[in-house]
Amino acid sequence: MSFRTETTLAGYARAAVDRKARMADYGGTEHARTYVQAWIEETWQAHLDDEDVAARPGGLVESVTRAAGTVWALGEPFVLARR
């Protein structure tokens, strides 16, 4: 389901709820954790010294992955309509 194919407000609402459910499901997968881990490692290496990269707190990847998944699981899908 895509927003591009929707032409009514009800269609946009259905698509938003579907996307929310898919993102909530994705947030708990190993693929999401791998993505977050790669993003954190790249970001830390680009902006910090080698000593700071080595001192990265343990559990950071799990915490960020859980937080990102929770937003989708608990958040409400909204559709804004413009006339």
Q: DSSP string of 5-17?
A: G--SHHHHHHHHH
The parent domain of residue 26 ranges over 3-74
pLDDT score recorded for residue 31: 94
| pTM > 0.75 | no
- For residues 10-32, average pLDDT: 87
What residue ranges in the chain does DSSP mark as E strands? none
Domain presence at residue 81: no
**Is residue 79 one of the residues assigned to a domain?**
no
Flag whether 35 is in a domain: yes
How far is residue 80 from each of residues 10, 14, 32, 57, 72, measured CA to CA in Å?
A: 11, 13, 28, 39, 18
The answer to whether position 53 is within a domain reads yes
**Residue 82 belongs to some domain of the structure:** no
Whether 80 maps to a domain, the answer reads: no
Number of structural domains (the chain) is 1
User: Which of 25-29, 32-36, 42-46 ranks highest by mean pLDDT?
Assistant: 32-36
Reported as a single tens digit per residue, the pLDDT across 44-70 is: 777 777 666 666 677 888 999 998 888
Does residue 83 fall inside a structural domain? Answer: no
Tell me how far CA of residue 17 lies from CA of 32, 43, 46, 51, 55, in angstroms: 20, 31, 36, 44, 40
